[in-house]
Amino acid sequence: MDLHQELVVIDGLIVSNFSRSVFEDMRRGGVTAANCTCSIWEGFQATMDNIASWKRHFRDNDDLLLEVRTTTDIATAKDANKTGIILGFQNGAAFEENSGYVELFKQLGVGIVQLAYNTQNLIGTGCYEPDGGLSGYGHEIIAEMNRVGVLIDLSHVGPKTSEEAIKASVKPVTYSHCLPAGLKQHPRNKTDDQLKFIVEYGGFVGVTMFPPFLPRGVNSTVDDYVKAIDYVVNLVGVDHVGIGTDFTQGHGPDFFEWISRDKGHGRRLVELGEIVNPAGIRTIGEFPNITAAMERAGWNEPKIRKIMGENWLRVLADAWGEDSSQTLMLR
């Protein structure tokens, strides 16, 4: 058995056009668990509809998928050769004006929520406009997410809102899918100081491979992706970094147009250009190539194990209110 087959592999963000073919590719890639987006611009009702669709996915693809609510479920998925699905939001808009919805969505299986997506909502501000910081309601949402055990994500959130959220949370928070601005300046990339700050407060960094944010863009390779991961590791330490690919597999131009506009239909926020994933990791099924690239780069096995999934296990356990000292016994 090669190393990749042995690993607990956790992807901190996949926002693909979910279907059986994508789920089959997750298994082909040996993905143990993934944070799968079920809400971006949607409000409460549309998000509920999306969750209902996911419940059908779980029923119709129970030979491939397992719904994740605890890290024990991730271990069960590994043992059963299935992919564990963590439902996640990329925007807190679905909470609308009712913080009680946090617990409701948690009970429906939502384990990770990003506070804002690119622009302002009732909670705070995104990364593509002047940042007014975390609102009073935002503080209420964070307290409720901490209480019920939902991991707070700040990937698309502005710097001031992020800093205030990091300070307000009593549990670890994450940039689930970002790249360092030290390699490429972009509103979505995080500065060295931002990356250090989140880790100083017990937080975590998932590194993305979304091509517009990589230094070589569409000319990037899986080796470039591993170099970007290593940049962050060298900055904040090997225990605080993981994978967050941001796979958009199966989506076409309409999807990228939708995510590029404020609330999905307003002013254009960013020109994403051509979306071509790095060579060697074009599809989720090629996930073993990340492990192989790490080995080519001279990474030792403990480092690979941590980055590919063990670090995520610890952070999820902490955020979900589990005993993280028991979590690594699951591998």
Residues 274-283, mean pLDDT to the nearest whole number = 96
Burial call 106-135: b when 16+ CB within 10 Å, e when fewer: bebbbbbbbbbbbbbbebbbbbbeebeebb
pLDDT in tens, 252-272: 999 999 999 999 999 999 999
User: How far apart, in whole angstroms, are the C-alpha atoms of residue 200 and residue 274?
Assistant: 36
pTM for the model stands at 0.97
- pLDDT tens figures, 220-251: 999 999 999 999 999 999 999 999 999 999 99
* Among the listed residues 164, 245, 240, 161, the one whose alpha carbon sits nearest the alpha carbon of residue 196: 240
In the chain, % of residues over pLDDT 70: 97
Res 326: pLDDT? 59
**Sign of the dihedral defined by the CA atoms of residues 263, 266, 270, 275, in that order:** positive
pLDDT at residue 331 greater than cutoff 70: no
- Give residue 311's pLDDT: 98
In the chain, % of residues over pLDDT 90: 97
According to the model, what pLDDT value does residue 323 have?
82
CA-to-CA separations, 260 to 160, 214, 227, 271, 272, in angstroms, rounded: 22, 18, 27, 7, 7
Phi and psi at residue 89, in whole multiples of 5°? -105, 145
Tens of pLDDT, residues 60-115: 999 999 999 999 999 999 999 999 999 999 999 999 999 999 999 999 999 999 99
Q: Is the model's pLDDT at 328 over the cut of 90?
A: no
Per residue in 300-325, pLDDT (tens digit) is: 999 999 999 999 999 999 999 998 66
> In this structure, are strands 65-67 and 33-39 parallel, antiparallel, or unpaired?
unpaired
Domains of the chain, each with CATH number or no CATH:
3-330 (3.20.20.140)
| Sign (positive or negative) of CA dihedral 103, 105, 110, 116 | negative
